[in-house]
Amino acid sequence: MTLPGRLLASEDFAKPLAPLTGNPDSFASGYTGWRYNKGPRAGAWEIVDGAFHGATNEAAHHPAAATYGLEFKNVVIQCELRMDDVPLGGTMGHYMQVRTTGLKGYVCSIGVDRGGLRIQKDDLSGGGKRLPKDKDEDGPDIRVPLGYFKTPVKLGEWQQVVIEILGEEMVATMNGHSLTGTHPLIGSDKHSVMIDFGASGSVRNFKIWEALPNPEWPKNKATIVEAMKGLPLR
């Protein structure tokens, strides 16, 4: 959908992370840089062999979460993610998410579990509400699924993901498979990028670019939309 423009952030996790700057207004905004290990709900994060590894706190019943603070609107986010082959330890399952957040909560995300890749407009609070199929959107605190691609994802293997956001559209690509969707709130101002893992996982080669329009997008979009016909939203 887009072309990468100015590089906004890059992290190879080869050395200790710099302290964040600013004053966090919430988990989602008010700062620049990495925010992690801020209580048991965030899990335990450390740099291991050139990757940023997060493990859930079993007692917290919450995914391991680390957030990179950065104000943006249109971006390309690229990274490699891995779900570890470890016991669930009280979590719902092995999964990983890359989320964008607004001033006070979630905006949109991609999620990967052992069954495939999904994209969605998130509900603001993360509570998992889902819009009934026969009703119109009646508020921001609603999860709106935009697409799901079913494919086996093995534990312990790195998956390259790319998230593109331009205006009200988003595209997620994993290992050559792409999904696209549109929602008005995707076009809102965003303040951070969050990485979530269920059980345990790692991220490496994390980069964010400013997104520029790609003149080939109408043609590329038609190809993606055709491939998505018949796929579940989930």
d(CA 74, CA 198): 27
- Strand, coil or helix: 117: strand
- pLDDT computed for residue 130 by the predictor: 44
Coil, strand, or helix at residue 224? helix
8 Å CB contact between 43 and 50: no
Q: Which residues pair with 35 in a beta bridge?
A: 67
Rounded to the nearest integer, the mean pLDDT of the chain is: 89
169-186: b (≥16 Cβ within 10 Å) or e = bbbbbbeeebbbbebebb
Indicate if the pLDDT at residue 2 is higher than 60: yes
Mean pLDDT of 2-16: 97
DSSP bridge pairs for 229: none
pLDDT of residue 127: 53
Instruction: Note the pLDDT tens digit of each residue in 113-165.
Output: 999 999 999 987 665 444 444 333 445 568 899 999 999 999 999 999 999 99
Every domain of the chain and the residues it spans: 2-10+71-193+201-228
The predicted-structure confidence for 191-210, as pLDDT tens digits, reads as follows 999 999 988 999 999 999 99
pLDDT tens per residue across span 24-70:
877 788 999 999 998 877 889 999 999 999 998 877 677 899 999 99
| Distance between CA atoms of residues 50 and 63, nearest Å | 21
Per DSSP, which regions of the chain are E strands? 2-11, 21-22, 31-35, 44-48, 51-55, 64-72, 75-83, 95-101, 106-113, 116-121, 144-150, 159-166, 169-174, 177-182, 190-198, 200-213
> Domain 2-10+71-193+201-228: which CATH class?
mainly beta
